[in-house]
Structure 1
Amino acid sequence: MIPTSFNRLLNQQATLLLQGPMGPFFAKLAAVLRAQGQHVVKVNFNAGDDHYYNDPKAVRFTAAMTEWPGTLRQLLIQHRIDAIVLFGQTRDMHRHAIEVARDQGIAIYVFEEGYIRPDYVTLEVGGVNAESSLPRDPAFYRQQPLTPAPKPLPTQQEFSTVVGIAATYGWAAWCGRRRYPHYVHHRSLNPVAETLKWIRGTYLRKWYRRWSERHMLPWLTAPAQHKRFFLVPLQVYNDSQIRCHSHFVDVAEFIATVVESFAQHAPTDKLLVLKHHPMDRAYNNYTGLIDDLAREWGVEGRVFYIHDQHLPTLLRHACGVVTVNSTTGLQSLYHKTPVIALGECLYDVAELVFTGTLEQFWHHPGDVDEDLFQRFREHMIRETQLNASFYADTPGLQPYIKPVKRADSVAEAPVAKAQNDAWSASTLPTLK
């Protein structure tokens, strides 16, 4: 089964691929679209993009970002583009592209990490997460069929593979930075600094936390703590969903808000457990902040900060989950644990998540409407979830890949090749 969004993408005629996730996924996607007879144009913005999409026909944008909207309009006209595909809707080049596409009535397809994990990635038309077009009306979902989607095939994604792809992308972008003098990434790509951070995060902090927290999971899942603690899964420090779709400045402000509210309003027999995001381990350590807040509000001994504990197990034992807008909220609902989202998110559906105040949630988090959630989940999978990994196998793409013997790095089907050859005179290999 493929989602409705991907089926729509397959039926476009001329597609412009902008920046994708690190790795070869957009190269695979281009092969699929060309195999369907589409004309495909890819824009690379740094040498990391070049490394994983090493096609001589790719357009290389090397100018300042102020030149991008005009360049984009030129590309849309020259190649008669009717669809734009991107990953990371809040990146500068993508925000401009979305504005131009909407102004010209061109379809926008946005990839994101899977709403359901593992083995899925998200593809939506128009926007993802808080900008998702999925309805927020519970009545809509109560009318949807309760037909389970086929189980996804495993993608074999491993953490070490993701780290390896990220490191390769970073090194390539750094070594080729002079070719793209104006490019600014949304986070640091300095390979030396990033490698040192991940050595600290993966090998030092991870193993220290594994040893120092070795008793936490058995203790939290013991009968005495079952349904006694609220879980707060923290998001990555640079998560655009916090910056763009919540009133919090950053994760630290969210932590301070939650701890203060818990201290002032939660029943005194309840505990608060804040869980660090595994992808943030290399960048932040909130131990000092949380300890200071617990002392300030007089809740020492009731507030705990943990790291690499098994999330599904914690969700099953928690009495409620407090998040900004993390997809962990969906996992919590799957495990029948009520959720309150303090920011905007796609699953903020009345009767599905708690709609009162945080102060009320501490006392009466309620129960999860399992029937509503299952209908919501199955609809979301049917509409938006593609069985694939950005960094490993892509089972959902395989039926559409028709290998064609070519010298080019990205395969094209014969029909698409004829179109591309006919339009190649209008291709702009490098735009300055």
Structure 2
Amino acid sequence: MRGNGGPRRPSNIENLDPRPRLGCRRALLLQGPNGPFFARLAKDLKRGGTSVTKVNFNVADSMFYRGPDVISFRDSMDKWPERLREIMVEEQIDAVFLFGDQRPIHLAATKLARELGIAIWVFEEGYLRPDFVTCERNGVNGNSELPRDPEHYRTRAPMLPEPDPVTPVGNTFWQHTTWTILASVGKTFGWFRYPRYVHHRRTDAFYGAFCYTRGAFRKLRYRITERGVVDGVIARNDGKYFVLPLQVYCDAQLQHSDFPSMPAMIEHVVATFAAAAPADSMLVVKHHPHDMPFRDYKGLLRQLAAQHGLGDRVVYIHDTHLPTLLKHARGVVTMNSTVGPSALFHHTPVKVLGRATYDIAGMTSQKPLAEFFQDPGQVDGELFDAYTHWLKVANQVNGSFYRRVNPETASGLPPTLFDRVGETADVAEGTASAALVGFVHDRGAG
């Protein structure tokens, strides 16, 4: 439970279903994921009687969302807070929806929404992959209000209802890729329609074409050169190697750590491994599949291995069956990747270097990294099960941003998510997570 006397709770807490409900009458949609997801989400909101206003910031936004409810913002970013305030007041907005809370556009929006008492709903890729997306009140990842107290999950998760049945999402790689390419082409050739827009990462189509062509050749090369490497590592070092899963070089999760870049984290981990890990252990560095077109750390890792006298104890891999790699590892070191929960699922100890919702005592190691390399400890499997149960009820929604999973809604998300659409957003009573804390607290007291 949070500090300052704990969360405020709705008076009718016994009737509260803790699953997230998008209650609002006048919604403001900002930037969504590449593709038509936000346009489909708007249809679900409107179907329930909610008035929707959408702000577009670039041509890609305009490609995927059109209509009379659109406001095009073409000024520079320093004018955005003032214009946003005007929109929120004039349209009487009571809830704002956005994808990712670390984009500059969204940082300004969440700050102003809190000032005006407007509900904030943040969508993000799922904490649990691959069949979920995250829908959380007020913030996600490092900004999430999920409790970090292990006793919270041990004692209260058993009181929750069973999670809804899960429909498998399947592989969405090609849908995701298609929307990303269309967005890149739109922003590149339609830049003059939004000449002051600056994206939070490089997205021009020419750069993308070069990178993805390079990535295709890298993928082919590593598929050939790395054949049998992981099998060999497992055969010779079963239970003696640590895995370092890398994240995309421009991952917003970097902002939830003390590292300025991915290479800085790599240097820290390799140096600590060299100084503290047992002499018979190995470090397997796993490249992120989506980062193959953009970054390659082979040269850096070769240099670091030579600098620290590690020889062939550092192995760099790309395409591999991750569950197999995790099951046989002694431990996993991560900044805050979703590989962390995957490792915990296989009862492999995890050390988090950044800030993550799953970095909870008993579930992940709280030791310094050097001590973790010497003795990773054990995973409390029951605590992890309680944590994942809580997530599936509180903020993990079965679905995808890139494919409609549930045919009953335009967005493909479960219909229960929209049960309270058209009702006033209940901001004064705190976040959905806080309401859930109160729900189980009162049930336990009764």
TM-score by length of 2: 0.86
1:322-333 equivalences under 5 Å are 322-333=333-344
CA contact (8 A) 1:229 1:271 kept: yes
Output the amino acid matched with 1:333: L
Asked whether the equivalents of residues 26 and 53 of structure 1 are also in contact (C-alpha less than 8 Å), the reply is yes
The 5 Å alignment of 1:122-141 reads: 122-141=134-153
Q: 2:429 matched to which residue of 1?
A: none
Matched, 1:185 2:199: yes
Partner of 1:82: 94
Residue 189 of structure 1: how far off its partner (Å): 1.9
- For 1:204 and 1:225, the matched residues in 2 are separated by 30
The gaps in structure 1 that reach 5 residues or longer are 403-414, 417-432
Tell me the equivalent position of 2:67: 55
* Counterpart code for 2:61: D
Aligned to 1:288: 299
Task: Kindly report which structure 2 residues correspond to 1:180-329, keeping only aligned pairs within 5 A, or say none.
Answer: 180-201=194-215, 203-222=216-235, 224-242=236-254, 244-329=255-340
| Per-residue deviation, 1:4 | 4.5
Q: What is the distance in 2 between the residues matched to 1:198 and 1:186?
A: 19
Contact preservation (8 Å) 2:157, 2:387: no
Q: Which amino acid letter does the alignment assign opposite residue 181 of structure 1?
A: P
User: Contact between 1:4 and 1:384, CA under 8 Å: does it hold in 2?
Assistant: no
Identify which of 31, 37, 41 aligns with 2:49: 37
The CA distance in 1 between the partners of 2:18 and 2:300, in whole Å, is: 44
- Aligned ranges for residues 350-429 of structure 1 at < 5 Å? 350-395=361-406, 398-401=407-410
What amino acid maps onto 1:328 in structure 2?
A: V
CA distance 1:296–1:401, shift in 2 (3 Å): closer
State how 1:341-356 maps to structure 2 within 5 Å.
341-356=352-367
Deviations 1:91-144 (CA, angstroms, capped at 9, x unpaired): 111010011001111111111111111121111101000111110000100013
Q: In structure 1, what is the Cα distance between the partners aligned to 2:170 and 2:286?
A: 25
Question: Aligned partner of 1:26: which letter?
Answer: F
Cα-Cα RMSD:
1.6
Task: Please name the residue that 2:4 is paired with.
Answer: none
CA deviations over 1:328-350 (Å, ceiling 9, x no partner): 11111111101000111111111
- Would the aligned equivalents of 1:36 and 1:400 in 2 still touch at CA under 8 Å? no
CA distance in 1, matches of 2:248, 2:167: 28
Contact 1:5 1:125 in 2 (8 A): no
Flag the 1:371–1:200 CA change in 2: closer, same or farther, 3 A. Answer: same
Corresponding position of 2:418: none
Indicate if the aligned counterparts of 2:133 and 2:400 stay in contact, CA closer than 8 A: yes
Residue 151 (structure 1) shift: 4.1
Alpha-carbon distance in 2 for matches of 1:6, 1:352: 25
Aligned-partner SS, 1:194: helix
CA contact (8 A) 2:100 2:140 kept: no
Identity of aligned pairs, percent?
42
* Code of the aligned partner of 2:211: K
Work out the CA distance in 1 between the residues paired with 2:218 and 2:210.
12
TM-score if structure 1 supplies the norm length?
0.89
Output one character per residue of 1:386-427: Cα deviation in whole Å (capped at 9) or x when no partner.
1111111232xx43459xxxxxxxxxxxx98xxxxxxxxxxx
Q: Is the 8 A contact 2:246 2:286 kept in 1?
A: yes
In the TM superposition, structure 1's runs of 4+ consecutive aligned residues that sit over 3 Å from their partners are 3-6, 145-148, 398-402
- Residue in 1 that maps onto 2:178: 164
Aligned length: 395
Q: Which residue of 2 aligns with 1:105?
A: 117
Give the equivalent residue in structure 2 for 1:154. Answer: 168
5+ residue gaps, structure 2, are 1-16, 412-420, 423-446
CA-to-partner distance for each residue in 1:12-36, whole Å, 9 max, x for gaps? 1111000000001101110111111
